[in-house]
């Protein structure tokens, strides 16, 4: 069903991001634990919230999930998309121009990935019955508060 499919989709995205983070950490010859990652502000396995099931509580599962994924930023470097090998530059200005072009390409790819994930999150959220139920619950609560305040104002006028 809906929840199983999207649970797996977001797990796959999280695993992909964790592999990139682990690869980057091994490039730096560092073995980072979850505690080290937390201290450095890096993503660890614990920071990817679960999508949950149809009966998952909104406050504990659903809200943290959407809060995290709506602000998603990929950890991928996108160095494999670089157009130029800066080691082949013949001068400093040429190398800097190559680096700038490579950076532009990487940033564009990173931005595209972030937008794709956020669009997926918006698509899922729009169809998530847990979100609709919470929205309806909040509307009913607001209507009750509004009705109560109007009733109190009416009673105050009658006094």
Alpha-helical (H) ranges within the chain are 2-27, 34-40, 63-69, 92-127, 129-158
- Which of the four pLDDT bands, split at 50, 70 and 90, describes residue 147? very high
Do 43 and 13 touch, CB atoms closer than 8 A?
no
What is the pLDDT, as a whole number, of residue 47? 78
Which sign does the torsion angle of CA 98, 103, 104, 106 carry?
positive
Q: Return the percentage of the chain with pLDDT > 90, whole number.
A: 77
Say if residue 71's pLDDT is above 60.
yes
- pLDDT at 125 (0 to 100): 97
Record the tokens describing residue 72, joined without a space: 């998603």
Q: For residue 75, count CB atoms less than 10 angstroms from its CB and return exposed for 0-12, middle for 13-18, buried for 19 or more.
A: middle
Token representation of residue 123: 């698509």
How much is the pLDDT for 46?
57
Sorted by where each begins, the domain ranges of the chain are: 2-76+118-158, 77-117
Half-sphere exposure (Cβ direction) of 77: Cα atoms closer than 13 Å: 12
- DSSP 8-state symbol, 71: T
Return the closest-CA partner of residue 79 out of 107, 115, 114: 107
Q: Rounded distance, CA 134 to CA 59, Å?
A: 9
Spatial separation of the C-alpha atoms in residues 14 and 17, rounded to whole Å: 5
Residue 31 clears pLDDT 60, i.e. is over it = no
């Amino acid at each position: 069903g809906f929840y199983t499919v999207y649970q797996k989709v977001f797990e796959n995205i999280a695993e992909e991001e964790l592999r990139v983070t682990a690869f980057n950490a091994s490039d730096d010859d560092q073995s980072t634990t979850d505690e080290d990652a937390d201290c450095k502000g890096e993503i660890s396995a614990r920071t990817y919230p679960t999508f949950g099931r149809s009966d998952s509580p909104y406050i504990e599962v659903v809200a943290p999930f959407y809060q995290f994924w709506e602000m998603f930023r990929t950890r991928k470097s996108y160095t494999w998309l670089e157009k130029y090998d800066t080691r082949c530059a013949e001068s400093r200005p040429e190398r800097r121009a190559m680096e700038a072009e490579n950076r532009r390409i990487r940033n564009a790819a990173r931005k595209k990935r972030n937008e794709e994930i956020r669009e997926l999150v918006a698509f899922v959220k729009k169809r998530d019955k847990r979100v609709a139920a919470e929205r309806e619950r909040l509307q009913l609560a607001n209507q009750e508060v509004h009705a109560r305040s109007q009733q109190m104002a009416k009673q105050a006028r009658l006094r």
